[in-house]
Amino acid sequence: MHTNTPTTSSIIRPVFSDALRAKLDTSGPRYTSYPTADRFNERFGPLQYSQALQHRVIGTDIGKRAPFSVYLHIPFCESLCYYCACNKIITKHHERAMPYLDALETELDMHVRALGRGQPVSQIHFGGGTPTFLSDAELERLMASLRHAFSITSDAEISIEVDPRTANRERLASLQAMGFNRLSFGVQDFDETVQKAVHRIQSYESVRDLMEGARELGYTSINMDLIYGLPFQTAESFATTLERVRALRPDRIALYAYAHLPTRFKPQRRISEDDLPSAPTRLTLLQSAINGFLDEGYVYIGMDHFALPDDTLAKARQAGRLQRNFQGYSTHPDCDIIALGVSAIGRIGPTYSQNVKTLDEYYARISQRQFAIERGLKLTRDDLIRRAVIMELMCQGRLDYELTSCHLGINPQYYFATELSELDAFEEHGLLERTPQGIQVTPTGWFFIRAIAMTFDYHIRASGRLASFSRIV
């Protein structure tokens, strides 16, 4: 199979020229789905979700059931991080977790009744919020409920987001005993000035000790989240953070661009725009991170993800098996996602759905044994065609006309005539190459894949609406 994965030594480091910066000085989706979540609407509710589950049951040969992915949203946090755009509830009252667990188990039982017990599951992800806000006993309870409801495959990826401030080596050992085999540590930045500005204080030493403990325990993959573009970040301070990250050598690194949207996310109003790095500085931060990680042997996966060559994510990238879902890049085949908890987003067949965003609404729906769907979307044929093309670009870095024609039943050169005509600027900047056979994203183009994919986004083309998305660089 042809792939677009050069060896580490041959990877071209992107150069952010003024012309390229002007071309890409815009906002855009991260394409964890297409259409993106801002296109969901309230015409898709509990009834439509129930129908989607029913269609899944009717249309599936019981002997060939594709495994589900399950996402659980734990919204509670003990303290507020000012940069955060997640749906969270700030509280130090841990007793609030108990009614939430009751509701999660009821919601889980509703899915079992709709789908049947023992559906295969190959991925489980606990996100938030702060999943480690829950006690070991509470997490054990949830894992027991999941095992009772589903048939978890022997090779399942079971991951949890860990706030280093709420964990120690003993906690990691307990998580492993429950079945968790992948961890993600939220670090963002090690600089004390930056940490104070975003209200997230955690020492390098505490993260180092957790990393060492996780490795001793044998976790198969450890991810570290970083953010560039935070207040008071400088080229010098971020270089120190990057040096410390490289010393810890996590298996995966997610390097996100901070999206300052204070009108949408109230906590961000505590961050002064005057304290944010300038656009040229942001590019310097990004370029230094990219070069540093590549020099250390990391493989650039796509978007803002890096992985060591022996990590399963890098292997999936190399083999052309990379997928993308609401949690980002994935190694598992494209699959339906059961989403549990307040604000959680799922996917069943050609539909997307999102639960209500407040606890009161969530509890009210679940207490009536009604699916807590607030909004969603049933994809049209055009949506499905464009999703396939955008995900092929996002995951494989190419668009093969013949394969697209065979798989989707269209002539892509005719169907996307307008879009293809608008790729000249990307080709001029060396971000992609066009041949009679299709489009191939260049090594440099991989770093700007969002901009290329946006060309095929009908909804953006129709509305021109970009303000709700983060900056591309």
Q: Identity (one letter) of the amino acid at 284?
A: T
Which residues are part of a known binding site? Answer: 71, 77, 81, 83-85, 128-130, 161, 188, 200, 225, 259, 345
Q: 263 and 160, same structural domain?
A: yes
Which residues are part of a known binding site for S-adenosyl-L-methionine? Answer: 71, 83-85, 128-130, 161, 188, 200, 225, 259, 345
For residues 40 and 270, give the distance between their C-alpha atoms in angstroms, rounded to a whole number.
29
User: How much is the pTM?
Assistant: 0.91
Q: 240 and 161, same structural domain?
A: yes
pLDDT of residue 317: 87
- Among residues 277, 296, 315, the one where a domain terminates is 296
pLDDT of residue 5: 43
Q: 19 and 75, same structural domain?
A: no
Q: 196 and 94, same structural domain?
A: yes
For residues 377 and 375, give the distance between their C-alpha atoms in angstroms, rounded to a whole number.
7
For residues 258 and 324, give the distance between their C-alpha atoms in angstroms, rounded to a whole number.
21
For residues 311 and 30, give the distance between their C-alpha atoms in angstroms, rounded to a whole number.
23
Q: 131 and 261, same structural domain?
A: yes
In contact, 412 and 395? CB cutoff 8 Å: no
CATH number at residue 402: 1.10.10.920
* First and final C-alpha spacing in the chain: 31
Q: 71 and 151, same structural domain?
A: yes
Q: 262 and 393, same structural domain?
A: no
In a domain? residue 89: yes
Q: What is the pLDDT along the chain (473 residues), one digit of tens a residue?
A: 344 444 444 455 666 676 777 667 777 888 888 999 989 999 999 999 999 999 988 865 444 568 999 999 999 999 999 999 888 999 999 999 999 999 999 999 999 999 999 999 999 999 989 999 999 999 999 999 999 999 999 999 999 999 999 899 999 999 999 999 999 999 999 999 999 999 999 999 999 999 999 999 999 899 999 999 999 999 999 999 999 999 999 999 999 989 888 988 899 999 999 999 998 898 889 889 999 999 999 998 887 899 999 999 999 888 888 888 887 888 876 789 999 999 999 999 999 999 999 999 999 999 999 999 999 999 999 999 999 999 999 999 999 999 999 999 999 999 999 999 999 989 988 899 999 999 999 888 888 888 999 999 999 888 766 656 767 76
Q: 263 and 213, same structural domain?
A: yes
Helix 235-248 vs helix 279-295: angle between axes, to the nearest 10 degrees?
20
Q: 84 and 16, same structural domain?
A: no
In a domain? residue 421: yes
447-450: Cβ within 8 A, 24+ apart: 447/14, 447/290, 447/300, 448/14, 448/20, 448/24, 448/472, 448/473, 449/302, 449/303, 449/393, 449/394, 449/397, 450/28, 450/29, 450/30, 450/31, 450/303
- As to burial, measured by CB atoms within 10 angstroms (0-12 exposed, 13-18 middle, 19+ buried), residue 61 is exposed
Q: Which residue has the tokens 């129908």?
A: 51
- Among residues 296, 330, 353, the one where a domain terminates is 296
Q: 389 and 277, same structural domain?
A: no
- Among residues 266, 296, 326, the one where a domain terminates is 296
Which residues are part of a known binding site for [4Fe-4S] cluster? Answer: 77, 81, 84
In a domain? residue 124: yes
In a domain? residue 360: no
In a domain? residue 253: yes
Q: Which residue has the tokens 């796509």?
A: 302
In a domain? residue 310: no
Query: What domain range includes position 15?
Result: 8-26+382-463
Q: 188 and 125, same structural domain?
A: yes
Sign of CA dihedral 303, 309, 314, 319: positive
Indicate left, alpha or beta for 451 from its phi (over 0: left) and psi (-120 to 50: alpha). alpha
Annotate 426-463 with DSSP letters as a single string. Answer: HHHTTSEEEETTEEEE-TTGGGGHHHHHHTT-HHHHHH
Structure tokens at 120: 């295969």
CATH number at residue 228: 3.80.30.20
In a domain? residue 112: yes
Q: 394 and 255, same structural domain?
A: no
Q: How many domains does the chain divide into?
A: 2
In a domain? residue 19: yes
